Homo-oligomer: A and B are copies of this chain.
């Protein structure tokens, strides 16, 4: 009886070992050597719980000498970001991570200590050829820009690119400085940057309309065309034409999650940025697609002399992220992005639907060659107008309601306009909608709100799920505003 059939155990033991080993070999973890310390470090920080209202970062402040602290979304506080700050202003300045969380594995990157230490790549440029190849591929599958026989230059976001472009399109020692022009409403950085440089070769001279009929005056005119436009999302086209008119097309938002793509853009100078493609503003990576070699050379010179190219670490990050974008030919990220933005826009429109006090920009729906269908609106920003004659300061009106927008005057428009971001974190967006609902309910009255035709959706409040109709009303009257609600 002391004897037992060992063969079973041999089999059992071998099987168990095999399972373990196979499991490890398949997951590949058995291979790791020098990278495992960094990997464990990163996963440990990623595992720090910040209640879904914040995040701990690898380079976050280390106060207790142990691990980085939680960095909370605006309006949340506490060591784990679980405390909502009542009466806190909804200030939308975060970003939607258009790369889904389930891409954690494929979007992560391990940087070796010896990675790209040199100033130059092997081809003596400051540019990763592999990244350039992927950029062309992304434009190709999205169909938003012609890149064949075009030059590509990298910059620290589109921010550095635009100054390089203005430099490249203006002549050295010209008889008179080139006129840098914009069309209201316009992205304010064009003006700020041009004025900061205070160059003898170019000068900010305001709105294109002033120069429409003088485009052959012999002085170069550099027109910024933002398409889709920031703030109002319109697919703008150049206003100025003729031998002295040159356009810089800012195509930052020309992606299927923000706008229909009627056709591939094919302008002489086009700018794009990772921040509006994947949401990675912090990497400071942008690029320009350029037709003319001389312009390309001057832009490359500018970026070389001002920063010796773009951080190779940022380039590696961009490479990794573009690989994720290219999975399933971009279908996944752009569908997710489009659905997210469309839903946000619909909720905004609904929140303002009963209001006569506020109105939103009107954007013409168009056929999108990427989705092969007529697209609904999903702009990155709401360009909101205060309609009441006496309410000339729309920023103040919203500030009083604890909503922080951007004044219209910043964009060269009237202050009866404000820009509200649709690309903030979910917390920021939810709070914005919450506050807008309050504002509108004050205008139209609670009764009217209650009479509203309900729209049904599934609500999740903490772990408790239940179905209800019209979450705005629910949030307005039956829920304390500090409970965050997410729709699924």
Where the two chains meet, the residues of A that have a C-beta atom closer than 8 Å to any C-beta of B are 2-10, 12-14, 16-17, 20-21, 24, 27-44, 46, 55, 57-62, 68, 71-72, 93-95, 97, 99, 101, 103-122, 128-131, 133, 156-157, 159-160, 163, 167, 172, 189, 192-193, 196-201, 275, 279-285, 301-302, 305-317, 319-321, 324
Alpha-carbon gap, A114 to B280, bound state (A): 8
User: Which residue from chain B places its CB closest to the CB of A101 in the assembled complex?
Assistant: B114
Write out the residue numbers on chain B whose beta carbons fall within 8 Å of the beta carbon of A121.
Answer: 71
Alpha-carbon gap, A302 to B19, bound state (A): 59
Write out the residue numbers on chain B whose beta carbons fall within 8 Å of the beta carbon of A71.
Answer: 121-122
Alpha-carbon gap, A35 to B42, bound state (A): 8
Please state if A59 and B9 are interface contacts (CB–CB under 8 Å).
no
- Within the complex, what minimum Cβ distance (angstroms) separates A414 from chain B? 25
Please state if A117 and B95 are interface contacts (CB–CB under 8 Å).
yes
A36-B39, A305-B193 known; A113-B29 Cβ under 8 A: no
Please state if A284 and B306 are interface contacts (CB–CB under 8 Å).
no
- Within the complex, what minimum Cβ distance (angstroms) separates A164 from chain B? 10
A38-B109, A284-B307 known; A118-B130 Cβ under 8 A: no
Write out the residue numbers on chain B whose beta carbons fall within 8 Å of the beta carbon of A321.
Answer: 113
Write out the residue numbers on chain B whose beta carbons fall within 8 Å of the beta carbon of A43.
Answer: 31-35, 110
Alpha-carbon gap, A42 to B315, bound state (A): 15
Please state if A160 and B34 are interface contacts (CB–CB under 8 Å).
no
Residue of A116, A167, A193, A320 with highest tally of chain B CB at under 10 A = A116
Please state if B6 and A110 are interface contacts (CB–CB under 8 Å).
no
A284-B309, A316-B58 known; A118-B93 Cβ under 8 A: yes
Alpha-carbon gap, A99 to B130, bound state (A): 27
Alpha-carbon gap, A36 to B2, bound state (A): 46
Please state if A306 and B306 are interface contacts (CB–CB under 8 Å).
yes
Please state if A110 and B35 are interface contacts (CB–CB under 8 Å).
yes
- Pick from B20, B40, B200, B307: contact of A198, CB below 8 A: B200
Alpha-carbon gap, A178 to B72, bound state (A): 44
Please state if A39 and B110 are interface contacts (CB–CB under 8 Å).
yes
Write out the residue numbers on chain B whose beta carbons fall within 8 Å of the beta carbon of A57.
Answer: 115-116
A111-B111, A118-B282 known; A9-B13 Cβ under 8 A: yes
Residue of A10, A33, A114, A160 with highest tally of chain B CB at under 10 A = A114
A28-B40, A104-B113 known; A308-B156 Cβ under 8 A: yes
Alpha-carbon gap, A7 to B6, bound state (A): 7
9 additional A-B residue pairs with CB within 8 Å, beyond A6-B10, A34-B105: A16-B17, A37-B106, A38-B110, A58-B110, A93-B118, A111-B317, A119-B275, A281-B308, A311-B314
Please state if B108 and A120 are interface contacts (CB–CB under 8 Å).
no
The 9 A-B residue pairs with the shortest CB-CB distance, nearest first, are A107-B113, A13-B13, A6-B6, A42-B110, A282-B312, A34-B104, A156-B307, A311-B314, A116-B282
A-B contact pairs, 20 of them (CB 8 A): A2-B7, A17-B17, A34-B43, A34-B108, A35-B108, A41-B110, A42-B109, A59-B316, A62-B130, A68-B130, A71-B121, A95-B119, A101-B114, A104-B113, A108-B111, A116-B282, A156-B306, A160-B306, A192-B305, A199-B200
- Pick from B39, B101, B131, B308: contact of A59, CB below 8 A: B131
Alpha-carbon gap, A103 to B38, bound state (A): 12
- Pick from B39, B309, B316: contact of A313, CB below 8 A: B316
- Within the complex, what minimum Cβ distance (angstroms) separates A430 from chain B? 17
A42-B110, A312-B282 known; A32-B33 Cβ under 8 A: no
Write out the residue numbers on chain B whose beta carbons fall within 8 Å of the beta carbon of A32.
Answer: 29, 32, 36, 39-40, 43
Alpha-carbon gap, A359 to B283, bound state (A): 46
A4-B6, A29-B30 known; A110-B113 Cβ under 8 A: no
Please state if B97 and A117 are interface contacts (CB–CB under 8 Å).
yes
Alpha-carbon gap, A279 to B113, bound state (A): 11
